[in-house]
Structure 1
Amino acid sequence: MKKILILVVIFSFVITGYRICHPTRIIGIHQVSENIIVLVVQHFPWTKQGKISWWQRNQSGVFSKLNIQENNYSVFIYNTCYKKDSGTDQDSDLLCFKDMATEESCISKENRPLIIWRYRDGHTEYTTESIFRRFY
């Protein structure tokens, strides 16, 4: 029993260290329409508060790169990497971007940890997904 407890503690320290050493990184920013943004990130925070705090700290940097009104928008954040669309039915779950010149211009729509809706009246809504959502 002690060995299992020690392994769990060591595993927890390794995961925590990994998350600290690999901060969230924006891989791509895509303006899909006038008021819709798609962010592709890696190493996104796990907790609801961490996700929302990350967005609040980084939203001005995202808006500075785009021509979008900051009072009426939707942001979809995907924690994934780019893939190539092979044109088969297996790739029907991919979201592809025409603004990229490379073959690897698609992402999987599955891992979407945060969605932000900002309304004209100043109200903001956040929808978060758990990393364990696929297991229940």
Structure 2
Amino acid sequence: MKIKNKKAMALLLLAGCVAAGYWCWLCLRPVEIVAVHEEDNHASVLVKNFPFTDKGKINWWLKNKNFMKEKYNIPKPSSSGSFTIIFWLFGDGYQEEGKYDRRCFDDMKTKVNCIDKNAVFAIRQYNDDDVIFATYEGRYTLDKNSNIIKNE
């Protein structure tokens, strides 16, 4: 009886290690920026391997906002200081409009210029005020003192 319990424990331990290793691999993959589409002070960033957690998304942005400004020149605030950046999962890639509720990009002169709507993160600033981060799990404000506050 003890031998079976040891085998079962070993299998459970192995399964747990494999699951933990897979989770670590998912979390440590670098974010891939596939494309950036812009319209005035609004930008859509198509990504693969975006962080899962709210904290991971916000930290990724804070770490990479200078890179995004240098490489893609975003955000581009309006004269009032307002801007919006939405990060979309690239998923199955560009597709034709056909299906309901796809996000299409007019800056691409082809029929294959849409993605399935799967927004994972948004950054907004209105009238040069605090920056707002939005995820499916919540909204957060980055105030002028660099404090991140979860909005209730």
Q: What's the TM-score once normalised by structure 2's chain length?
A: 0.69
Aligned position for 1:47: 53
Alignment of 1:1-136 (within 5 A): 2=9, 3-20=11-28, 22-32=29-39, 34-64=40-70, 65-66=72-73, 68-69=76-77, 71-81=81-91, 82-85=93-96, 87=98, 91-109=99-117, 111-129=118-136
Deviating runs (4+, > 3 A) in structure 1? Answer: 101-104
Q: Which has the greater radius of gyration?
A: 2
Once the 2 structures are TM-superposed, how far is the Cα of residue 120 of structure 1 from its aligned partner? 2.2
Q: Give the % identical residues.
A: 24
Q: What's the TM-score once normalised by structure 1's chain length?
A: 0.76
Once the 2 structures are TM-superposed, how far is the Cα of residue 23 of structure 1 from its aligned partner? 0.2
Per-residue Cα deviation, 1:55-96 (whole angstroms, up to 9, x for no partner): 122223333434722831011111224222163xxx112111
Q: Please provide the CA RMSD for this pair.
A: 2.3
User: Relative contact order, CA 8 A, sep 6+: which one is greater?
Assistant: 1
Alpha carbons of structure 1 residues 66 and 102: separation in structure 2 relative to 1, 3 Å: farther
Aligned pair count?
Answer: 124
3-state DSSP class of the match of 2:23? helix
Range with bigger deviation, 77-86 or 65-74? 65-74
Alpha carbons of structure 1 residues 86 and 36: separation in structure 2 relative to 1, 3 Å: closer
Query: Contact 1:31–1:66 (CA<8 Å) still a contact in 2?
Result: no
**Unaligned 5+ runs, structure 1:** 131-136
- Output the CA distance in 2 between the equivalents of 1:129 and 1:122: 22
- Output the CA distance in 1 between the equivalents of 2:125 and 2:97: 35
Q: Which has the higher strand share?
A: 2
Query: Contact 1:75–1:117 (CA<8 Å) still a contact in 2?
Result: yes
Per-residue Cα deviation, 1:82-131 (whole angstroms, up to 9, x for no partner): 222163xxx1121111212455321111x21111111224301111125x
